[in-house]
Amino acid sequence: MTQVKKLLNDSFVARWAALLLIALMMFFAYMFVDVMSPLQTLVEGQRGWTPGIFGTYAASEYFLNVCGFLILAGIILDKSGIRFTGALSASLMVIGASIKYIGISDWFQETELCAWLNTWWVSLPGSAKIASLGFMIFGCGCEMAGITVSKAIAKWFKGKEMALAMGLEMAIARLGVFTVLSLSPFIANKFNGSVVAPIAFCTVLLLIGLINFLVFNVMDAKLDRQMGDARGNEAPAEEFKVSDIKNIFGSKMFWIIALLCVLYYSAIFPFQRYATNFLECTLSIPTESAANLFRWFPILAMVLTPFLGSFIDHVGKGASMLMYGALIMIICHLTFAFVLPLYPKEWFALLIIVVLGVSFSLVPASLWPSVPKIIDERYLGSAYSLIFWIQNFGLCFVPKIIGNVLDSTNPGVAQLREQANAQLAQGIQAVVPAYDYTVPMVIFASFGVLAFILGLWLKAEDRAKGYGLELPNITNKVKK
């Protein structure tokens, strides 16, 4: 009778400790992603950014990824492995965050470089140019980290609680959004309304995240040694080849999931960038109150996602959850567009925000664990990277589109807001005019409609061809 050697990831404590290390890195990354989301009004007053400029800055996070970096990231992941790619991605986040900090800093505004940057592409201030450059580099690291973490969890939790693990990782990451939406304006106020202090704080946290991943690397190296010993004389698994990418692009299921992903997330993450200002304008409340209100968006997602992941692990129904999540999102954005302006109560806004969080738990909890069911393991990293790459087209262009739509549907409001903020800074009483967000909310809802249609198609394909998207993830092995 052959004795099966126990691997490191067979230990409950070890695999969940590994998850905690990489999840904390993503927690800090998500904090940095949204550190400026509640500071839109503040940066308008201090740096002269209009909604269009803010949209350009928000879009810059994804620009290099759209230009092909994410495809390269997937190839690096499948060729060089989780440890190298994770350390590289965490380092890129720290470097990009540092550059963004320099661009936003007060002292940089007085430099000759900033003055020179203001002389070309004059519609974008020098502060926004450098901040966008840093955000581009950070975005490369953040998205690369996302696919690396997904593949790491698939490796450490294969045949175990994979959906629960992915759900908990997402929950911890979203706790970063909840935290920073309140912490960012709080830190800014503690430092006399400075937009620089919150960015500096989150940059230090990213450095801690890099250290966390290096500790995880030590554990992962030990697991690889054990897996190599366990294979013994068995033939090694077929290695990834760059030519395998054509197999991914040739998969109909890949395209359905990728398009559903880009449509759904284009209605979530770009909305987060503008949500604080949307609540300010719609409810006529201060920035800090609006940020404190919207911070509850990821709470139900954070709480529910692990339970939904466990449900999918044991029961299944992943494809159905994708459809329900898209439907809830449609209802929420239409309510933001047409009902909240007629009944501008904070408790009602909070209710919609929390319900939107339910959608944000249903879709990711079922989407990401579905990918290993349709894609061969040897190019799973590239599959995740290609889905993220396609998703990044929406995340790159939608914030800019929303910013331009806000400008065009609110003619002259940006200039009036800038004048009012300047008067307030001088101690002169002034009323800051509000933006009308009806059209942007309808745009977000339309993305949800298309995502729902793709969800129906995905479920039909799964029913016809038996990919197992509605089946549980945990495999029950019979002992002989």
Q: What CATH number did the domain enclosing 145 receive?
A: 1.20.1250.20
Handedness of CA 480, 232, 151, 70 (dihedral sign): negative
pLDDT score recorded for residue 471: 85
Structure confidence by residue, pLDDT tens digits, 58-67: 888 888 888 8
> In angstroms, what is the C-alpha Rg of the chain?
23
CB 184 within 8 A of CB 110: no
Q: Give a yes or no: residue 230 inside a domain.
A: no
Alpha carbon 265 to its chain's center? 8
Would you say residue 5 lies in a domain? no
Q: Does 480 fall in a domain?
A: no
Q: In percent, how much of the chain has pLDDT > 90?
A: 39
Q: Is 309 exposed, middle or buried (0-12, 13-18, 19+ CB in 10 A)?
A: buried
Tell me, yes or no, whether 232 lies in a domain.
no
Predicted TM-score (pTM) of the model is: 0.73
Instruction: Give the CA distances from residue 325 to residues 121, 215, 305, 331, 355, in Å, rounded to whole numbers and listed in that order.
Output: 41, 36, 12, 10, 10
Q: Is residue 474 part of a domain?
A: no
Residue 475 has pLDDT above 80, yes or no: no
CA torsion sign for 186, 189, 193, 194 is negative
Q: What is the domain range of residue 176?
A: 11-224+241-465
Residue 177 belongs to a domain: yes
Task: Tell me how far apart the alpha carbons of residues 143 and 139 are, in angstroms, rounded to a whole number.
Answer: 6
Which pLDDT band, with edges at 50, 70 and 90, does 229 fall under?
Answer: low
Cα(40)–Cα(353) distance, integer angstroms: 19
Question: Average pLDDT, stretch 232-246?
Answer: 58
Indicate whether 358 pLDDT > 80.
yes
Mean pLDDT of 249-259: 90
Residue 478 lies in a domain: no
Instruction: For residue range 314-328, list pLDDT tens digits in order.
Output: 888 888 888 999 999
The number of folded domains in the chain is: 1
Q: Per the domain annotation, does 235 fall within a domain?
A: no
- What are the angstrom distances between the C-alpha of 448 and each of 195, 293, 400, 440, 445? 33, 23, 19, 13, 5
- pLDDT at position 238: 52
- Whether the predicted pLDDT of 230 surpasses 60: no
- 3-class DSSP state for residue 360? helix
Residue pLDDT, tens place only, 140-163: 999 899 889 988 998 898 878 877
Angle between helices 252-266 and 318-338 (to 10 degrees): 30
Most confident of 175-179, 212-216, 230-234, 240-244: 212-216
